[in-house]
Amino acid sequence: MMNARSSLQLALLVGLLVSIVSIAVAEPEVAEETAIFRALRDGVFTVFADRGHGTAFLVDDSGLLLTNSHVIASSSQISVQLDDTTRVWAEVVAESKLLDVAVLAVSPRVVSGRPVLAMATRGVRNLVFEGEKVIAIGSPLNQTRILTSGTVSKVEDRAIISDVDISPSNSGGPLINTDSEVIGINIFRDPLLGGAGVSGSLPVSLAIAVLEIGRAELARSDAPPATRLPLVPPRSYPAKGLEWAGKRSHIEGNYVVDGVPGFEVNIVTPPRRHFLKTYIQGVLAEEQQDHETEVGTDEDELYDPLGDDLREWREYVGDFAPLVGIAVTPEFGETGTSSFLNLLGAVAGVATASSGPVSVSFGYHAYEFKGDLQDFKLLEDDRPVQEVFRIVGTMPVPVETWSDYKDDIVHHGVFQYLPEVFGAPDSEQLHFRIVDLKNPTRKIDVEIPRKCLEQIAVDFEPYRMMLDARKTELVVGREER
């Protein structure tokens, strides 16, 4: 029989084992920042506009969002991605460019049940104090709703300075204190500093008046539709397939849509982009490799600018997005008046020269863009096809030379679509329509050439094979269960 001392030792041993097991299975302690992030992240969204994307956050269950004015500046279309499955239209209902604040509205149906972020309304000097811990939620790189945190460094009348990492795509997102209050709207960081540096946020109390204007405007108008818009597919283009497809994307003409008056139109796919990058970098590397060979550098140590190009991590910065882009660039050339004057000068020169040797000086050259992109639509039998993204930017005038005169500035754009939109080469007619600001009464309707559709099909073969393999894996997995 076990004596009292043995029983006590056994009890202590069992207790110790129970404690060890309890420690092993105990839930890890959740950091304060993590708890706040988990509670509020579903009320922070990604904003897509003509010139890029940023962040917005929900401030009213009627569908009102706050963001930066520069995020949506001069955009003809604005959409908001709420999560990995939902993107909807948004409209501007109030804006202050001076404060860099915009109020957006989305359908209240799509934000029902999502957290409304509480805003601190007290004065700037009482909003936050130096040394306080704060967090930011935003959409940098190719990500949505990620957490960064830091400490307030200084409080100004119109800015909260902190060491929270604010990238351009974080613009418009909330700066939140440890009481889960929004105290600022993230706006800027010092681009001259290396690393994260310091960032600036607008004190949220300064945006209250703009928000009230937006609330009154929304009460007088209809909310935007809750129509679901296409999203970037969850599976990226396979990095291993880029090289295979890239070798089949070298025929430039297969990516060019000819016969578009005033514009150059090119098809862009992930393999084509990879091919062009590889080609350009390869050309630039040839001279460097020649120099290295001359000094006896081993072949396996020669400069290789393409070594990192196919790293699989690049999908997280959006390099492998499985989308087809249509790039629309205004054509640049000599003006009609300039050509006419130079033609007259040439004729005069020939006429003068025929009567004896003379020195003729002419060469007035004025250049302009032949078109100016106002709008672009892809159509399938006259039915609009919704793009995933559109980026519209300003086209700078090419570098001036001493003999040329240039005075023009226009817009160009890239419009990205899901690859299945282009279907088989013999599918229903796909064409696009361009509205030219320089000549708005002119209709520019051009069919997508068969050669382009065939090339798109070739370029996306590795992507289709990957999806088919994934479907097979899922079916086999279900059967085994």
Burial of 77 (0-12, 13-18, 19+ CB in 10 A): middle
Mean pLDDT by 10 residues, the chain (481 residues): 52 51 54 89 93 92 96 91 94 96 97 95 83 87 72 90 80 93 86 62 94 96 94 87 84 94 94 81 59 65 51 50 93 60 44 38 61 93 91 70 58 93 75 92 91 95 90 62 58
Cα–Cα distance, 224 to 106 (Å, whole number): 6
- The predicted pLDDT at position 442 comes to 83
Contact 155, 147 (CB under 8 A): no
Task: Name residues whose C-beta falls within 8 Å of residue 134's C-beta, 6 or more positions apart in sequence.
Answer: 128, 149, 150, 151, 152, 162, 164, 175, 176, 177, 178, 183, 184
- The predicted pLDDT at position 210 comes to 97
Contact 458, 226 (CB under 8 A): no
- The predicted pLDDT at position 463 comes to 93
Q: Which two tokens stand for residue 298?
A: 């081993």
- The predicted pLDDT at position 188 comes to 75
| Structural domains of the chain ordered from first start | 33-220 (2.40.10.120), 239-351+362-467 (no CATH)
- The predicted pLDDT at position 421 comes to 94
Facing residues of 324 across strands?
Answer: 417
Cα–Cα distance, 335 to 398 (Å, whole number): 15
pTM of the predicted model as reported, rounded to 2 decimal places: 0.78
- What percent of the chain is helix, strand and coil (3-state, nearest 5)? 35, 30, 40
* DSSP H or E stretch at residue 172: none
Cα–Cα distance, 139 to 56 (Å, whole number): 10
Strands 365-369 and 404-406: parallel
